[in-house]
Copies of this chain bind each other. A is one copy, B any other.
Amino acid sequence: MHNTLEFEKSLIELENKIIGLENFSKENNVNLVSEIDILRKKLDQMKRDVYANLSPWQKVKIARLQERPTTVEYVKTIMPDFIELHGDRLYMDDAAIIGGIGTFEGIAVTVIGHQKGKDTKENIKRNFGMAHPEGYRKALRLMKQAEKFKRPVVTFIDTPGAYCGLGAEERGQGEAIATNLLEMSRLKTPIISFVIGEGGSGGALGLGIADRVCMLEHTIYSVISPEGLSSILWKDAGLAEKAADIMKLTAKDLLEMKVIDKIIGEPLGGAHKDIEFVSNNIKDYLIKELPALLKLDSNTLLDQRYEKLREIGK
């Protein structure tokens, strides 16, 4: 595993020791079954403790892991017949946001999500999941299409934020996100959003106005990055850990503050350890929530969505 997390080091060390014992046992024909079993249980308990008590900063680290499953991997497992649809019909196809259609449990669904790369080359193509205005406009086009064909929309949020560059400003990053907020608030079809990694600021919210908002267990959602906050507050981006502590950016914080509806459980060690596990949890959530939303007439749906937004910070 590349990108070892600091707080996982002792776990990995113990795991390596256990493997050593196993090899010793096999090679020397010494029976250590019960001893190893005890150690494995201990390791498992340690892992549980670590992952149950992750600090906000540790959550930030996990949420940003390059091994973490991205939108396209969840889509593949949840909707194997997914067809990607490209382009905003205006300026460019932005690879930092992907979208398309597929079937889930016998209904057609539109899926849209930020897309990070799995390696440096792909990350350059996908701009590390930081979309330009055309990414948000592609998303909007596909959402309007979903509305027309009465397909529910599922969005996956995973971005450090909307891109801050010349072209993005020139082509109206602010306008593109603002328009998505407004249009998503009145889109006449159910929307369910999942934060699967980083929920970075306006760039995250641009896909995040929904009837249900969920966060995976080890994800974050915030108005600014911890680095950004610490550099503003203390003129020192290095104090990001301290910033994370006061930001209330974890799934648990947001659920407590009633900003999100549900935490989707991850396997021990994070989503990348078992994507099927997470996908099944997402599927179960969709199966539980979609039918009721699809049954609502569009006025009730929109009224409820509005009230949900309306309540935050009332």
Contact = CB atoms under 8 A, between A and B. Distances in A.
Interface of A: 89-91, 137, 171-172, 175
B89 A175 contact: yes
Given A89-B175, A90-B137, 8 more contacts: A90-B90, A90-B91, A90-B171, A90-B172, A90-B175, A91-B91, A91-B171, A91-B172
A265 B91 CA distance: 42
Contacts of A90: 90-91, 137, 171-172, 175
When all copies of this chain in the complex are counted, the total is 2
6 contacts: A89-B175, A90-B90, A90-B172, A90-B175, A91-B91, A91-B171
Contacts of A175: 89-90
A171 B89 CA distance: 8
Contacts of A89: 172, 175
A139 to B, nearest CB: 15
By Cβ-Cβ distance, the 10 closest A-B pairs, closest first, are: A89-B175, A90-B90, A91-B171, A91-B91, A90-B172, A89-B172, A90-B171, A90-B91, A90-B137, A90-B175
A86 to B, nearest CB: 14
Contacts of A172: 89-91
Contacts of A137: 90
A143 to B, nearest CB: 17
A11 to B, nearest CB: 50
A172 B88 CA distance: 11
A97 B171 CA distance: 19
Contacts of A171: 90-91
Nearest to A90: B90
A141 to B, nearest CB: 11
A137 to B, nearest CB: 8
A112 to B, nearest CB: 19
A89 to B, nearest CB: 6
A175 B89 CA distance: 7
